[in-house]
C-alpha cells in the first residue's frame, strides 16, 4: 500500500515540470497522511488545460452513503481498479496526477517495523497515478477526494513491501490525463512498477510513524 508520502518541491518547480500555470502557494510536506489535502493535477474541462487542485486523500465514491468509506479507499489496486465499483467510473473519467517527492513504507525487521523513504535518484518530483471523485453530502458543499493506485513491487521494493504506488513516467502523463481516452487495457498497461534503477531508498526515523510529525526531521537518514 501507500499510506504516507512527501511533497517538498516548490510551486515553481512543480509548475515547470508538470506544465501548469496556476500552482497555489503551499508549504513543503514531509509526512502526508490519509484524510489530508494533497496536490493533484487534472484537466480543466472548460479550458482543456492542466490545473492543480487540492483533493482530500481517501476516495469517496459518488454513490456512497457514508463518507467513512474514504478511509478504506486511500489506495486502489492496479490489477482490479477497472472493475471495482468504488473506482471503475473514476478510472474511465476522472484520472489525475498526485504530486510527490517520495513515499514511506515500513519494512518488517524482526519484531519491529522500520520506516523507509523511497524517492527518485534525480531528486525531482514525480506523479503517482491517481483517481478523483466528487461526493455530494445531503447538506453542505461537495467534497473532492482521491486515491493512489498501487501495483506489484519492483526489485528495490520487494524486500521492503509487497506493494508500491504506481509512479507514472512523464511520457505517459498526457494519455493518463486524457479523459477522452477510455480504453481499459492501454490504461492498465501504464500501471506498472517503476524501474528500480531510477529509485533510491534509505531508513528514516520512527518520527514518521506519527502523522503529527510533519517536519524535515522525518526525512533524515538513520542507521539501523
pLDDT of residue 138: 86
Domain 5-219: give its CATH architecture.
Alpha-Beta Complex (3.90)
How far apart CA 161 and CA 165 sit, in angstroms, is: 11
pLDDT for residue 194 is more than 90: yes
**Percentage of the chain lying above the pLDDT 90 cut:** 88
Mean pLDDT of the 56-83 span: 96
pLDDT for residue 158 is more than 90: yes
pLDDT of residue 26: 80
pLDDT in tens, 103-120: 999 999 888 999 999 999
pLDDT class of 1 with cuts at 50, 70, 90: confident
pLDDT for residue 128 is more than 90: yes
Residue 177, SS3?
Answer: helix
pLDDT of residue 21: 82
Kindly state the cell numbers that stand for 185.
Answer: 487495457
**146 burial level (CB within 10 Å; 0-12, 13-18, 19+):** buried
**Domain ranges in the chain?**
5-219
pLDDT class of 87 with cuts at 50, 70, 90: very high
Q: Which residues are catalytic?
A: 2, 105
How do beta strands 143-151 and 75-77 pair?
parallel
- Three-state secondary structure string covering 96-165: EEEEECEEEEEEEECCEEEEEEEEECCCCCEEEEEEEEEECCCCCCCEEEEEEEEECCCCCCCCCCCCEE
| Mean pLDDT lowest among 20-24, 33-37, 166-170, 195-199 | 20-24
How far apart CA 202 and CA 6 sit, in angstroms, is: 14
pLDDT for residue 24 is more than 80: no
| Mean pLDDT lowest among 126-130, 135-139, 155-159 | 135-139
What DSSP element (H or E) covers 168?
A: strand 167-168
pLDDT in tens, 199-221: 999 999 999 999 999 999 999 99
Kindly state the cell numbers that stand for 177.
Answer: 490525463
Amino acid at each position: 500500500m501507500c499510506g504516507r508520502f512527501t511533497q517538498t518541491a516548490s510551486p515553481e518547480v512543480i509548475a515547470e515540470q508538470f506544465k501548469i500555470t496556476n500552482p497555489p502557494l503551499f508549504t513543503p510536506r514531509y509526512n502526508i497522511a490519509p484524510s489530508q489535502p494533497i496536490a493533484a493535477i487534472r484537466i480543466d474541462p472548460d479550458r482543456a488545460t492542466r490545473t492543480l487542485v487540492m483533493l482530500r486523500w481517501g476516495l469517496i465514491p459518488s454513490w456512497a452513503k457514508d463518507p467513512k468509506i474514504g478511509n478504506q479507499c486511500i489506495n486502489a489496486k492496479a490489477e482490479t481498479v477497472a472493475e471495482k465499483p468504488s473506482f471503475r467510473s473514476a478510472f474511465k473519467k476522472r484520472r489525475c496526477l498526485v504530486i510527490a517527492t517520495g513515499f514511506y513504507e515500513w519494512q518488517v525487521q524482526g519484531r519491529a517495523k522500520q520506516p523507509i523513504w523511497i524517492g527518485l535518484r534525480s531528486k525531482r518530483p514525480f506523479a503517482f497515478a491517481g483517481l478523483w471523485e466528487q461526493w455530494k453530502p445531503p447538506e453542505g458543499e461537495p467534497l473532492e477526494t482521491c486515491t493512489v493506485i498501487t501495483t506489484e513491487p519492483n526489485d528495490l521494493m520487494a524486500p521492503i513491501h509487497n506493494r508500491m504506488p504506481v509512479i507514472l513516467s512523464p511520457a505517459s502523463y498526457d494519455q493518463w490525463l486524457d479523459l477522452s481516452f477510455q480504453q481499459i487495457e492501454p490504461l492498465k498497461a501504464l500501471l506498472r512498477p517503476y524501474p528500480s534503477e531510477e529509485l533510491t531508498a534509505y531508513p528514516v526515523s520512527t518520527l514518521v510513524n506519527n502523522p503529527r510529525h510533519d517536519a524535515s526531521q522525518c526525512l533524515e537518514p538513520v542507521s539501523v
